[in-house]
Amino acid sequence: GGEIEIEGGKGLVWSVMKSILRKDGPLGFYHGLSSTLLREVPGYFFFFGGYELSRSFFASGRSKDELGPVPLMLSGGVGGICLWLAVYPVDCIKSRIQVLSMSGKQAGFLGTFITVVRNEGIMALYSGLKPSMIRAFPANGALFLAYEYSRKLMMSQFEAY
């Protein structure tokens, strides 16, 4: 009883949740939290820092709120590049941990990091970086452009009241 129909997999989410609870208890839902925090906290520092530094560069003496769409998109792209350069090695290890945990061979962050570097070299931590960078620039450029124009629209509507 109480199962939810999910696109051809009746109760799939609930069965996975029950399996995690049975196997690892409530803390099982937090596996990978440390590597996620290790990636996200510094990553977003570089993401927003790169964006704001770029905006300041393009503003050069005038208000950053006066920037047009091209400098905003370029600044967003720089922010995305900064994010991925900073976090890619951690993201690589996090992905390896996820794959290894499916086969029951998970060795934790530090153990996985040491194994990858010892067996494959330091450059293995950057495997696949180029496509992520190519994707990051336009995606984050569009993200920040939409954010800034949405913010301006909401602020003008707020000020009208």
Asked whether residue 59 carries a pLDDT value surpassing 80, the answer given is yes
Look at residue 5 in the predicted model and tell me its pLDDT: 46
Greater pLDDT, 3 or 118: 118
- Computed over every residue of the chain, the mean pLDDT equals 86
Q: Mind listing the pLDDT tens digit for each residue in 91-117?
A: 888 888 877 876 777 778 888 899 999
Specify the pLDDT at position 3: 43
For the ranges 2-16, 82-96, 114-128, 137-151, the lowest mean pLDDT is seen at 2-16
Give pLDDT, residue 7: 54
Q: How far is CA 94 from CA 34, 43, 87, 100, 137, in A?
A: 10, 14, 10, 10, 22
* Residue with the two structure tokens 């905003």: 72
Residue 19 has pLDDT above 50, yes or no: yes
3-state secondary structure of 121: coil
Its pTM surpasses 0.85: no
For the segment 33-55, what is each residue's pLDDT rounded down to a tens digit? Answer: 877 888 899 999 999 999 999 99
Predicted confidence (pLDDT) at residue 2 exceeds the cutoff of 70: no
Q: Over the stretch 67-97, which tens digit does the pLDDT of each residue have?
A: 999 999 999 999 999 999 999 998 888 888 8
Would you say residue 145 has pLDDT above 60? Answer: yes
Q: What angle do CA 47, 39, 69 make, to 5 degrees?
A: 20
Helix (H, G, I), strand (E, B) or coil at 67: coil
* Percent with pLDDT over 70 in the chain: 93
Q: Give the domain ranges of the chain.
A: 1-30, 32-160
